[in-house]
Amino acid sequence: MLLSDRVMSVRPSGVRKIFDLANKVKNPINLSIGEPDFDIPDEVKQEGIRWIQAGFNKYTPSGGVPELREKIHRHLRAKGIICDDVIVTAGVTGGLLLALMVTLNPGDEIIIPDPYFVLYEYQVQLLGGKPVFFDTYPDFTIKEEALRDAITPRTRAILVNSPNNPTGAVCSRAELEIVARVAREKDLLVFSDDIYDGFMYGDIARQAYLGQFYEKTVTFGGFSKTWGMTGWRIGYVAGPQEIIQCMVTMQQYVFSSINSFAQKAALFALDYPMDSFIEGYKRKRDLIYEGLKDKYQVVKPEGAYFIFPEIPGGDGDAFVEKALEKNLFIIPGSVFSRKGSNVRISFAASEENVLKGIEILRSMA
C-alpha cells in the first residue's frame, strides 16, 4: 500500500465531478457552479497588475501584509464582530484548515448543521477529528434541542455557515443567539463561515453575524464570492488573538505565505462597491424560486446563490442523472447531506441559462 490511511477515507468531491463533466460538454446548461458568474471588476484587476509591475512579487509575511490585516480588522469591527486579530489565508478553505489544525485534537468533535458544505466533513476527518451532524430539515433552521442533543464531552466547536451552501438559508438573529448561548454554556468554540455575506436578499438592517454575539467565535470570510476573486485564493480569519497567532505560526509550515499581489488588490477591493454586480442575483433568486415552488417542495433562499429543492420520490442522485441527459448540470444533495432527497441548484449563471434550467426542471417534476 503506497497511500496513507488518511487519504483512503476521502472520496473525490461530488461537486468537482459534475463540474468536470460540464467542462466536457458543448453548451451545457450549467447550474452546478459555486462561484459568481461575473468577473473581477476591472479596477480591482488593474490594482493587482499595478503591484505585479511594481515588483511586489516576493514572499509576504506569514500572517498577511499588515495593512490588509488591519483594514479587515476595522471592516469586521465596524459590523460589530468581536475579534482581536486577523490572518490572511488561502481562501476560507485554507483558513478553516489552519483553524482546525490549531484547535482540534484527535477524537475531538465538531458539530455541523446538516446540510453543509462538503469540505467541512473531510477537513475535520483529515485532522483526526469527528464531524457530528444535526438535522435542520425541512426548513433549514437551527433548533436548540437538536443542537444540544449533538453535543458530547468530546465536542470542541460548532461550525455554522450563513448564508448557507447548499441551501441559501440565512440564520436569523434568534438562531445565532441559540448557538452563542449554547457555546457559552458549554465553553465551546464557534466557527462562523461568512463567505457569502455579500449575497443576502433580506432587510440589511436585520442582518446579523455570529461574531457579534460570542467572544470565542472564529470568523471566516474572503474575497472569492463578493468580488469574484475565486482563482486568486484570498481569504481571512478573525478571532481570539491566541488562536490567530497560532494560525500565523502554522501557516509558515503549511502555505508559507499568501499570494502577494492578490493581497494588494484585496486591500483596494474592500472599498470597491459591488452592489451593481450582485443586484441581479436577487432577481434570479426570485425567478428560480417562483419557477419551482409549484412543482417542488422548496424553501426560498435568503442568501448565497443556491436553492435546494426536494425531489419528488426523494432520490436526488437519480434525478441528477436524468438532468444530465437533458444537458442540465446540477449537484445531488447527497454531496452535502446525510440525506439524498434534494438537489443543489446554483443561480450564479446567466439569466438565460437560469430560465432554460427552470423549463427543464419543471418538465421533470
* Element of type H or E holding 25: none
Find out whether 221 and 198 touch, Cβ atoms under 8 Å: no
Structural domain boundaries, residue 120: 42-269
- Reported as a pLDDT band with limits 50, 70 and 90, residue 203 is confident
What string of H, E and C letters represents the secondary structure of 249-265? HHHHHHCCCCCHHHHHH
Please determine, for residue 20, whether its predicted confidence score (pLDDT) is greater than 90: no
pLDDT at position 21: 64
Instruction: Please determine, for residue 14, whether its predicted confidence score (pLDDT) is greater than 60.
Output: no
Same domain, 137 and 47: yes
Could you report the per-residue pLDDT of 79-136, keeping only the tens digit for each?
A: 999 999 999 999 999 999 999 999 999 999 999 999 999 999 999 999 999 999 999 9
Residue 177 in grid coordinates: 443567539
**Final residue of a structural domain among 234, 269, 304:** 269
Residue 98 sits in the same domain as residue 150: yes
Cα 197 to Cα 171, 189, 223, 303, 355, distances in angstroms: 11, 21, 11, 8, 25
- For residue 79, give the CATH number of its domain: 3.40.640.10
Output the CA angle 250-119-11, nearest 5 degrees. Answer: 115
3-state helix, strand, coil in the chain (%, to 5): 45, 15, 40
Q: What is the CATH number of the domain that holds 304?
A: 3.90.1150.10
Last residue in a domain, options 246, 269, 292: 269
The count of domains in the chain is 2
Region 24-51: mean pLDDT is: 92
pTM given for the model: 0.94
Looking at the structure, do residues 340 and 264 belong to the same domain, yes or no? no
Cβ atoms within 10 Å, residue 283: 13
Residues 253 and 307 in one domain: no
C-alpha cell at 201: 436578499
Q: Using CA atoms, how far apart are residues 132 and 150, in angstroms rounded to an integer?
A: 7
Contact of 309 with 168, CB cutoff 8 Å: no
- pLDDT tens column, 128-159: 999 999 999 999 999 999 999 999 999 999 99
Q: Is the pLDDT of residue 288 over 60?
A: yes
Chain-wide mean pLDDT for the chain? 95
pLDDT in tens, 151-185: 999 999 999 999 999 999 999 999 999 999 999 99
Give the domain-ending residue among 269, 303, 319: 269
Beta bridge pairs of residue 112: 133
- Do 170 and 65 share a structural domain? yes
